[in-house]
Amino acid sequence: MRLLWKERAASTSVPVEAQPAPAVPSLGNGLTAPIRPDNYPELLETLRAPQLPEPSPEFYVDWDGIRTRIQMLPWAPRELAGRVNTSLPIPDDGYRSEDVEYAALAAAINSAHETFRIVEIGAGWAPWAVAGIVQARRRGLRAKGLAVEADAQRSQWAMQHAADNDVSAEFVTGTPEEITRRLREPFDGVELRVVQAAGWHTSTILQFPELDEGDMGGAVWTLPGTDVDYRGAHLAHIDVPTVAIADLLDTCELTDLLHIDVQGVEFELVQPASDVIQQKVRLMAIGTTDRLTEGRLQDHFLPRGWGLAIDEPCKAVFTMTHPTLAGFTVQDGTQLWENPFVRRDFPG
């Protein structure tokens, strides 16, 4: 039968229209240079303070000159209080974060021009917003920042952390509409606004868990009809206002670093806001909490032309049971995205 079919096909003189060549996907941009772990020491050295503060019983002082009040961090080793550390945080700082997040901050600071603007969503006590402003001032840049945190206690810690590092700050709270109106007002004599709200892609009301001081894993998502969070923990939840990413970026200035740490809803937050992020953001650091989300972010932003400068996957241990993939994660990952379209050397 195959031979007969071939013979008959060969004798047929019906012309065959040429088919268009299949489109080849174009991912990334060819401009973004990868930042690898062996680049971290050099990058982190650019953040080293020229002179460190004197030791104080209440504070731990990092090599970058940032003072952190240990009383605000119940999970941190108590022996850190009163210490001044001159070592680079490689592979981590022992109480807060890994070297990769410091490298992301350094990349943003070192490539800023004249001004530096940072937006930290899921800010906790605002370590990255405060550090970014302090670092920018050292370089003579005009610095501004927004720190968005849903938890009432942690948003007050953010105000304290700013004061401890001589960063002028004001507190913003209220209904979603009141917060939005306040953010549209010009910064008046302050460098940082601490916004007690949840960062989201729209302005609305969401549920957020009531957390104890040592739990930094809260997220604005619960399983429908239950009090269970993404980890399987049973927690009481309260209504919290949200602030839309578009309102956080609503300024004529570019945001040099959008830092996102929202524990399991990373893609749900940024995907609907992709257009405004692409218009307004130079670099975006996202803490990732499951590998599916990491892939979804890559699948979404690479076709848009973004470059993935840092890709450190999260680590998970698949024991016990959890209602979501993020519930298995024992160490967050980090993705640092570069928007090539706002680079000064972008072709055209």
Calculate ∠ Cα 299-304-310, nearest 5°: 65
This prediction has a pTM of 0.89
Mean pLDDT computed over every residue of the chain: 89
What pairing do the DSSP bridges indicate for beta strands 315-316 and 307-312? unpaired
Question: Which tokens sit at 247?
Answer: 């309102």
Q: Which range is least confidently modeled, 157-166, 194-203, 234-243, 278-287?
A: 234-243
Which neighbouring-strand residues pair with 205?
A: 241
Hey, what amino acid is at 322? H
DSSP 38: G
3-class SS shares of the chain: helix, strand, coil, % to 5: 30, 25, 45
Query: What pLDDT sits at residue 21?
Result: 63
d(CA 249, CA 239): 24
Question: Which tokens sit at 26?
Answer: 């174009």
d(CA 257, CA 112): 9
**Arithmetic mean of pLDDT, 103-114:** 97
Domains of the chain (ranges; CATH) run 97-342 (3.40.50.150)
- 345 pLDDT band, cuts 50/70/90, is confident
**Arithmetic mean of pLDDT, 318-337:** 90
pLDDT digits (tens, 9 = 90+) for 54-75: 999 999 999 999 999 999 988 8
Residue 12 burial (CB count, 10 A) = 8
Calculate ∠ Cα 288-238-146, nearest 5°: 50
